[in-house]
Amino acid sequence: MASIFTKIINGEIPCYKIYEDDKTLAFLDINPETKGHTLVIPKTEVDKIYDLSPEDYDALMHTVKKLSKHLEKILQKRILWKVVGTDVPHAHVHLMPLDDTWYHGRHLELSKDEFEQIRKQLEYSA
């Protein structure tokens, strides 16, 4: 069965997309720990990040690095990377802009309008 992230890639489930290329997709986490909390995923569905092919791993990490610099520039905040690997069986990296109120496990409640405003602010185009 396809993971929720594969369903997002296939357009079956909507997302607040900020970046996409032929190998990766990045979108806002709908249960964010901070404003701008972004998920970067490979389009290839594998459970664990270390199961990715070298090519897909490199593509994922290239996008993670590129978007981290982009988020840091736009938000003027340090970007935390998290690779948890237990919440969705599809490799992914969390990019979290850090602020003084962040703590592990915190979840913000944002409206659709707030998500859309953040998406527009963070959207990346090459």
Q: What are phi and psi of 89, to 5 degrees?
A: -80, 60
Hey, which residues are catalytic here? 92
What would the pLDDT profile of 33-80 be if each residue is shown by its tens digit? 999 999 999 999 999 999 999 999 999 999 999 999 999 999 999 999
Given a cut of 80, is residue 112 above it in pLDDT? yes
CATH number reported for the structural domain that contains residue 99 in this entry: 3.30.428.10
Domain that holds residue 9: 4-122
| pLDDT (0 to 100) of residue 87 | 83
Q: What is the pLDDT of residues 37-50, one digit of tens each?
A: 999 999 999 999 99
Q: How many domains, in total, are found in the chain?
A: 1
**Percent of all residues in the chain with a pLDDT value above 90, rounded to a whole number:** 84
The C-alpha torsion from 30 through 81 and 8 to 108, rounded to 10°, is 0
Per residue, the 3-state secondary structure of 91-126, as one string, reads: CCEEEEECCCCCCCCCCCCCCHHHHHHHHHHHCCCC
Contact indicator for 87, 44 with CB cutoff of 8 Å = no
Structure confidence at residue 125 (pLDDT): 84
